[in-house]
Chains A and B, each alone.
Chain A
Amino acid sequence: MADLAQEERTFGEKLQSLPRQVLYLILIVVISASVIASKFAGPALVLPNKPGNNAIEFYATVMNVPEGSTVAIQSDWTNSTRGESAGQLESLLRILMRRNVKFMVYSLADPQAPQVARDTIARITLERKLKGEREYKRWDDWISLGFFPNGEGTAKSIQSDIRKAFKGKRDVSPEGPRDVYQSPVLKNIQTLDDLGLYINITASKTIDVLIERLKFKPARFGDFEVKNKLGSMCTGVMGPETVNYYSAGLLFGLVVGLNGVVEMETLMENGVNWPEGKKTVEYAKDKQLVVPGWTGKQNYARGTSYYFALHTGMALLILAVLAGNIGMWLARSGKGKNA
């Protein structure tokens, strides 16, 4: 009976009721093949990308932070979102390390997050070391402050008095663990506004906590004006909500999801309105703004290697939706019978 019912199904009915196992198999094959193809093709498979204003402003601001200043990185992600967040942190670290900007890293969201961030820093440090570039040293160039379970209170404390917010915290120095305020990274930080920038890399809503509690004064890095020192790198899922804060001028820039990572990598390769870049990335809001890049260096990395898979994945999703709808239309109109 079951076989008979199966035989009587029209093409339209079949098309709109594909077994989920088939869909899963197609997804596995398509994504795996795309990632493997990207891996082997290397630079030959760098797909074009047009960075948006939010990413350009983020990049331009990070590129203008004075050398030697300290950037706070609140890293609130773990490997569940590494496809997006790892690439975001890696691109940020490459820029900060190339520009000799110090940074401190901590988390207000997840106990695993500080270790994940430290592993990412170690990976980029090793990458630099193997290329003969200066080793970015813990304690002198960056410090880890760990995990703060009560994000709301900690953010308020940072706003109130950053010298007291991390009191009692110690980090690894060449001589063993020492008070973090003795580190060159925090030594000169007296108030929140002494920070170069404050960047939140998140897979959740932790940017809300910061928006509600941190208030930065407008600053100038040479000729470059910064209205707010808070920036965000968030996952694609959190993008639509975070765009609110960017469009309201509460963030100096915003990098969203895997697309954002590719935007950052494109900007690192080509700069903004930079004549020496391989291709011109225009910033329509300010055509006078010129931000250099690092053409030829390790810019295209994790984001670019996943970008082809993002395309094929999205294409598959669109095709699946179209197939379902075409199947429904065929079944309703009685077409495709005995196909």
Chain B
Amino acid sequence: MNFLIAQAPATPPLNFWNGDNATAGLWIKIIIGLVLGFALMIGLLFAPTRMRRPIVVTFTFLAGLFWMVQWLWPRAGEGVTEPTNATEGVALWLKDALPVVTDFANILTAFLLGLGIYSLVSIHGKRLIKKQTDWVFSGILLLSIVIMMIFGYADWLTRLGEGAAKVELVPGFWNRGRDLLFDGMLQQMDAAMFSLIAFFILSAAYRAFRIRSIESTILLSTALIVMISIMGAIVFMLDSAAAPVSNNLKLSEIAGWITGSLQTPAIRAINFGVGVGALAMGIRLWLSLDRGGVSG
């Protein structure tokens, strides 16, 4: 078995969809892909308006069809690499196609990130050039993007050489710079933004959580028990006090009952509803029954 593992290729065998790194063959495939991609985009731009909807509908249906077939089609048996019948043949083809389709999906989704950056640069670049209201903030944003890119890329480059995998006690200039920008600033601001929620929660709980009816009394009592059950020291004390009387009176037991018997089934019911809704919405999107997104 170990011998087989040793002989196994580090990466899957080459096929139509891939190529060896840094070879002319791979570059040719990349260039052909780019040319075809641009041609397709230009073709779509110049397509008659009445054709746009059928094109989008067809692509949407084909994209969804792959996942639907992949989900419904019977799997080939474990370890089967050569098909013995048509069903297995399709199953193996679907299995081989899955990583390729996933790569497409990853790349397409990554384009959304690129689109977001383009949109940011476009809007804030115009604001900066035309010196519109708050152009200073736009300038700071663009400067931050550029500086982060420079330090991020330089930091990445320093980690490519020999010995780069080691944890250095004394990092270099670019590593320190990246560390300061990413960990020292961006991540701290991220945490600070999220921590603002605590203030709103406190204020909202204080103002809105009032006992005005039987329902709100039940809700408040339950919430208090669950909140106290998060405080380990209090649970420890109350459980210790209740233990000699009855295990059922332990706070952890009461909170566990609320969580297991009330909260979990309720959330499960909601999730079933959400699941059915998502299925219905998915089918509508797949079959382009929602006209909004694909109308010409």
Contacts and interface: CB of A to CB of B under 8 A. Distances in A.
Interface of A: 18, 20, 23-24, 27, 31, 47-50, 52, 78-83, 111-112, 115-116, 119, 122, 125-126, 129, 135, 137-139, 148-150, 152-154, 156-157, 160-161, 163-165, 167-168, 172-177, 179, 181-182, 187-188, 190, 236, 240-241, 243-244, 247, 257, 259, 262, 307, 310-311, 313-318, 320-321, 323-325, 328
B161 A79 contact: no
Given A137-B165, A149-B113, A174-B165, A156 B102 contact: yes
A157 B100 CA distance: 9
A52 B235 CA distance: 12
A324 B209 CA distance: 8
B202 A27 contact: yes
A314 B236 CA distance: 16
B254 interface: no
B11 A168 contact: yes
A173 B95 contact: no
Contacts of A257: 230
Contacts of B169: 126, 129
B72 to A, nearest CB: 14
B164 A172 contact: yes
Contacts of B191: 79-80, 82-83
Contacts of A190: 5, 8
Contacts of B230: 236, 257, 259, 310, 314
Contact of B231 (A52, A310, A325): A310
Contact of B190 (A31, A79, A325): A79
A152 B187 CA distance: 26
Given A165-B102, A190-B8, A50 B252 contact: yes
Given A50-B235, A328-B211, 17 more contacts: A78-B190, A119-B183, A135-B167, A149-B112, A152-B105, A154-B102, A161-B99, A165-B99, A165-B102, A172-B165, A174-B162, A176-B160, A176-B162, A181-B9, A181-B10, A259-B232, A324-B210
A78 B193 CA distance: 12
B239 A164 contact: no
Contacts of B268: 244
Interface of B: 5, 8-12, 18, 70, 95, 98-99, 101-102, 105-106, 108-110, 112-113, 159-167, 169, 182-183, 186-188, 190-191, 193-194, 198-199, 201-203, 205-207, 209-211, 220, 224, 227-228, 230-236, 239, 252, 256, 259-260, 263-264, 267-268, 271
Contacts of A125: 167
B183 to A, nearest CB: 6
Contact of A154 (B106, B167, B186): B106
Given A174-B162, A324-B207, A179 B102 contact: no
Contact of A241 (B113, B165, B267): B267
B108 to A, nearest CB: 8
A314 B227 contact: yes
A27 B205 contact: no
A326 B23 CA distance: 76
Given A247-B260, A324-B210, A175 B113 contact: no
